[in-house]
Amino acid sequence: MISEGKQYAVCRLSVACLWKHAAEDAPLQSQVLFGEVLEVINIKNKHWVRVLCSWDDELGWMDPKHLYFLKEKDLPKIKGEKHYSLELIYGIISDKISIPITIGALLHGFDGINVRMPFGRFQFSGQAFSPGEGSLTSSMFIKLAHKFINAPEMRGGRSVLGMDSGALTQLIYKLLDIELPRHPPAQSSIGEDIGFLEQAEIGDLAFFCKRNGPISHAGVIVGPGSVLHVHGRVKIDRLDQQGIYDLEDGRYSYKLRTVRRMIQLSSPEEQLINSET
């Protein structure tokens, strides 16, 4: 939520790091994608700025050189309809520069060709998606989710170049304009609880633990007995009442704790019926 009287900034690079502390050896807390908006909490010096991520309330430290600090006149430019890049990696181009952006990058003021960022106008000829473009079917959801397959695992990562399980679920749902918390324990506290795995549908989120520990892992159900998750890389494994069965290792890797529904998808048949009425 963008509020008057606060200072905001926009990520101007493809992927920027959000650190837990203002120190060179700080652990990576998360990452910020091109076009995402952050609230500026305070500026420590020319090397560090503390920010609050507007989509999940993650608080951390960034390099101010990775950000464009918004002026009041810029606020209307970031309040319009949202468009997200669907290209894994693609160049956004102006007369002077080209910036590689990843899937999930936020394209402000996009009209199909031009992107009107607060810090300049660019052209984008790749595929983009706006969450308001009709109802979303389960087959469309699977196509979106499958775009992340083979992205490498990286703790704290939040892009197709490297991500953890919480980032995978968050980014898939970001493309639907649904804001999820950054980490699996918080994600598992929202949505509708699905009592039995047999009642799960495509798009539901499944949450897991190691043995009997706390929830530490998340995945997306992409078919009966199939879960998309991050384990070494983004991949699809078998899911049953016991948990995730790793098809490569031939053993269970995570224990199932709960399945939750965040969105109700329509089937292609339902979409056809709705369009005819």
Is the per-residue pLDDT at 266 higher than 80? no
Phi and psi, residue 97, nearest 5°: -140, 165
**DSSP string covering 149-170:** TTPBB-TT-EETTEE-HHHHHH
Q: pLDDT tens across 79-92, in order?
A: 778 899 999 999 99
Question: What's the rounded mean pLDDT across residues 231-254?
Answer: 97
Residue type, 27: P
Reported confidence tier of residue 247, pLDDT bands at 50, 70, 90: very high
Query: For the chain, first and last CA: distance in Å?
Result: 35
**Rounded CA separation 269/166 (Å):** 32
Reported confidence tier of residue 216, pLDDT bands at 50, 70, 90: very high
How many other C-beta atoms are found inside a 10 Å radius of the C-beta of residue 255?
16
Is the per-residue pLDDT at 141 higher than 70? yes
Residue with tokens 């598992």: 188
Phi and psi, residue 83, nearest 5°: -130, 135
Q: Looking at residue 267, what is its pLDDT?
A: 61
Is the per-residue pLDDT at 45 higher than 90? no
Q: Tell me the CATH class for 138-261.
A: alpha beta
Q: Looking at residue 2, what is its pLDDT?
A: 64
Q: Is the dihedral of CA 19, 20, 26, 28 positive or negative?
A: negative
Q: Looking at residue 163, what is its pLDDT?
A: 98
Q: pLDDT tens across 178-198, in order?
A: 999 999 999 999 999 998 999
- Map out the domains of the chain as residue ranges: 8-75, 77-129, 138-261
Q: pLDDT tens across 93-105, in order?
A: 999 899 999 999 9
Question: What's the rounded mean pLDDT across residues 13-32?
Answer: 96
Dmax over CA atoms of the chain, in Å, equals 60
Q: What percent of the chain has pLDDT over 70?
A: 93
Question: What's the rounded mean pLDDT across residues 197-205?
Answer: 95
Give the length of the chain: 277
Pick the CATH number of 8-75 from 2.30.30.40, 1.20.58.1000, 3.30.110.40, 3.30.750.200: 2.30.30.40
Reported confidence tier of residue 274, pLDDT bands at 50, 70, 90: very low
Q: Looking at residue 120, what is its pLDDT?
A: 92
Is the per-residue pLDDT at 9 higher than 50? yes
Least confident interval from 1-10, 33-42, 150-159 = 1-10
Per the CB < 8 A criterion, the answer to whether 259 and 200 are in contact is: yes
